[in-house]
Structure 1
Amino acid sequence: MSISQIRTITAFVDDQDRAKDFYVDVLGFAVRSDLKMGDNRWLEVAPGDSGTAIVLHRPFPGTTAGTLSGVILDSADLEADAKKLREAGVTVDGPDEMPWGKQATFADPDGNNFVLSAPSRQLPE
């Protein structure tokens, strides 16, 4: 196998413009790509120069918006980021102290769930 990285993760959203506003204006992500392809739109956002991007895509047939879960976003200042999310009207659970550091959880407007993490120590092997 020659797999070297995860390039994109897809978050299904009902309204791509609303999702773009949230990811760019609230989370501070950059738009990496925003292409119209017929009836489809490829909207890719990422935090800074991160290698992995999130594609904000309308649900494929048989899927629904808000099904992404468990994506962990690292934060250099978890307390401040949780406060900014709350000030933007986002419901945030935590931050809570965990064996590996602190974390908080939140969801985007479509219900895609994220973990905001500030790791402070190595996980046991």
Structure 2
Amino acid sequence: MDMKLELVMVPVTDVDRAKEFYVKVGFVADHDQTVSEEIRFVQLTPPGSGCSIAIGRGLTEMAPGSLDNLQMVIADADATLADLRSRGVEAEGVDEQAWGRFVSFADPDGNRWALQELPDYSKQG
């Protein structure tokens, strides 16, 4: 039985501000639907990802900024850090660990992201 993670709710206080931030990071805005006064659904997808995030109103009871260490895999930590900073994103890195090289950033509410360049296991003996 296959199971695919395709959508993660990210709790935010200001939907428009968060949408603008994630588009600046490079996410694609797939949907923005106001269902009612209480419900607004915005879906954004990181480039190359099979999993999207959703921000909005009336979608989750999680407190804004409560997600810590959402993680994505990237090809090149140095290039990603340079790209994010060129877009005006306050990104930190590159943090060198035995299990990868990391770049990190937080959205305006404080939801934190880690971007991991995986180690090249073919070079380890």
Q: How many residues align?
A: 120
Where 2:85 maps in the other structure, the secondary structure is helix
Change (3 A) 1:10 1:61: closer
Letter in 2 for 1:105: S
Residue identity over aligned pairs, in percent, reads 33
Render the CA deviation track for 1:10-45: whole Å, top value 9, x for unaligned.
Answer: 111111111111111x21111121111102110010
Root mean square deviation, CA, Å: 2.1
Shift of 1:70: 1.8
- Whole-angstrom CA distance in 1 between matches of 2:17 and 2:36: 20
- Note if contact 1:103-1:117 (Cα within 8 Å) is conserved in structure 2: yes
Change (3 A) 1:62 1:53: closer
Change (3 A) 1:61 1:79: closer
Which ranges in structure 2 are unaligned for 5 or more consecutive residues?
none
- Note if contact 1:44-1:53 (Cα within 8 Å) is conserved in structure 2: yes
Moved more, 66-75 or 38-47: 66-75
Aligned to 1:31: 29
Aligned to 2:45: 46
Q: TM-score when scaled to structure 1?
A: 0.82
Where 2:104 maps in the other structure, the secondary structure is strand
Q: TM-score when scaled to structure 2?
A: 0.82
Query: What pairs up with 1:1-125 in 2 under 5 angstroms?
Result: 2=1, 4-24=3-23, 26-39=24-37, 40-58=39-57, 63-122=62-121
Which ranges in structure 1 are unaligned for 5 or more consecutive residues?
none
Letter in 1 for 2:34: K
